[in-house]
Amino acid sequence: MSSVQPGCLWVVATPIGHRDDLSARAIATLRAVHVVAAEDTRHTRPLLVHHGIDTPLMALHEHNERDAVEAIVRRLVAGESVALVSDAGTPLISDPGFRLVRAARAAGIRCVPIPGACAAIAALSVAGMPSDRFVFEGFLPPKSAARRSRLQQLANESRTVIFYESSHRVAESLADMRDIFGAQRDAVLARELTKLFETVLGEPLGELAVRVAADPDQQRGECVLLVAGRGEEADAKLAEGRRIFAILREELPPAKAAKMAAAISGAPRKALYESEK
């Protein structure tokens, strides 16, 4: 109990699937605070029970956020300690909590992160895409016209782009991405991360869109979509193609070496051949 300071808001990351991914520090914090503010108390209660935590729960979601924030800030100002959790992952990342944290900070309340799982970062860590620079877009608009308009704005983005998507829209979103970003743009679908049916599929958008549309199993559960930035995948293929071309060129004429290197790497044959000049 002594490790949790009074009058603090603790922003606690919870598992995105596997309950045992809750950190020891998060467990200790959730046990010690006066109340846990949860996006859905029905969802959070089984997690707390699993870890032997009997701290009272209160709801904080998009429909009651204004009133709940005022009540929580009053409790914090009075010296109580409060933990904020979302249904899964790190609060505020496409989840409620922003208004509470902003209001708490405005009231001079200390806000302390208890880091842990985040679906976007977990997906990026296993996607095999450039991760030194990326952009998180959260959920795309549900309507097709607005979604395609937003994707069009991102068509020239050079960083890896990460999206969350609902299971019943993932096939439509992939089809829109294929049409706007191009069928050859590399993409990854990371689905049900840390859960029993976890899958990570990496293919060009054209192939991935067809695969997901044809497989209802890939249209279930929690989905993270990652799309390579424009130019990143082309640069990688060209670099690999040039490396292979240099090796083959020691034994083959330039035209044949370029043709074989292009077939192996996916890089444009003309660009490889011209590198000889």
Q: Where are the domains of the chain?
A: 8-117, 120-228, 233-274
Q: Which two tokens stand for residue 15?
A: 């598992």
Confidence label for 1 from pLDDT (cuts 50, 70 and 90) = very low
Task: Report the C-alpha gap between 257 and 246 in whole angstroms.
Answer: 8
Task: Report the C-alpha gap between 47 and 17 in whole angstroms.
Answer: 10
Checking if the pLDDT of 216 tops 90, the result is yes
Distance from the Cα of residue 11 to its chain's centroid:
18
Confidence label for 273 from pLDDT (cuts 50, 70 and 90) = confident
Confidence label for 232 from pLDDT (cuts 50, 70 and 90) = low
Task: Report the C-alpha gap between 155 and 189 in whole angstroms.
Answer: 18
180-215 pLDDT per residue, tens:
998 889 999 999 999 999 999 999 999 999 999 999
Percent of the chain with pLDDT over 90: 80
Checking if the pLDDT of 118 tops 50, the result is yes
Q: What is the mean pLDDT of the chain?
A: 93
pLDDT reported for residue 111: 98
Task: Report the C-alpha gap between 39 and 48 in whole angstroms.
Answer: 14
Residues 6+ apart with CB under 8 A from 38: 44, 57, 58, 59, 60, 85, 86, 87
Task: Report the C-alpha gap between 44 and 1 in whole angstroms.
Answer: 21
Residues written for the chain? 277
Look at 33-37, 115-119, 138-142, 152-156 and tell me which has the smallest mean pLDDT. 152-156
pLDDT reported for residue 269: 80
- Class of domain 120-228 as given by CATH: alpha beta
CATH hierarchy code of domain 8-117 = 3.40.1010.10
Nearest to 268 by CA among 219, 224, 233: 233
CA torsion, ordered 128, 130, 135, 139, to nearest 10 deg: -20
pLDDT reported for residue 2: 45
61-113 pLDDT per residue, tens:
988 988 899 999 999 999 999 999 999 999 999 999 999 999 999 999 999 99
pLDDT reported for residue 117: 96
Q: What is the pTM of this model?
A: 0.80
